Amino acid sequence: EAQVLVSAMRCSYIFALLASGASALTLHGAASSAARVSGGVSRCAAPQMGKVRQVNTAEFEEAIQDCSTPIILDVFAVWCGPCQLMAPQLEIVAEKLGDKVRVLKIDADDEPVVASTLRVQGLPTVMFISDMSVVMRAEGALMADELEALADHHLFGGPPPPQIEGGESVPQQ
């Protein structure tokens, strides 16, 4: 209990910086955080560009403080079907974008303080982070071309992506 409180206090300043007026998408297929199934996901120990890396709270805090490269953050759970559907899509995007972006994953069940602080309500939630600000967030499974189009627009100033089926742009709350 004390460890969670210390972790929450440590996170609060950094995560407060992430709470910006970002736009959001809510897509079909977002899993409710009420369901739960046990399982495991392996972690990648070293940061690598062009690879998806699962991180814990401390590693995420460190990553967002390095503003040199934008981040695509996937908040997921191992029991979440849409999360499992999206996992290989993130790999494709990470490989394609290479060193232009860091693609990170954080397990909402393993890191509940992060999920709560970032106001994750559905899974998967993808956040596009630039200069310690969430510039866009989306709930629900996205395919590689959708992730790439959103990253191009929100992180690199590319053209607006086409409307994503089932998605609706709304301001972040």
CA distances from 140 to 42, 43, 58, 159 (A): 22, 22, 25, 22
Q: Cα torsion at 104, 109, 115, 116 (round to 10°)?
A: -170
Catalytic-role residue among 11, 44, 67, 80: 80
Q: Is 83 a catalytic residue?
A: yes
Catalytic-role residue among 11, 44, 67, 83: 83
Count CB atoms within 10 A of the CB of residue 42.
6
Task: Determine contact, residues 84/143, Cβ cutoff 8 Å.
Answer: no
Helices (H) and strands (E) in the chain, counts: 5, 9
Task: Determine contact, residues 130/17, Cβ cutoff 8 Å.
Answer: no
- Among all residues, which ones are annotated catalytic? 80, 83
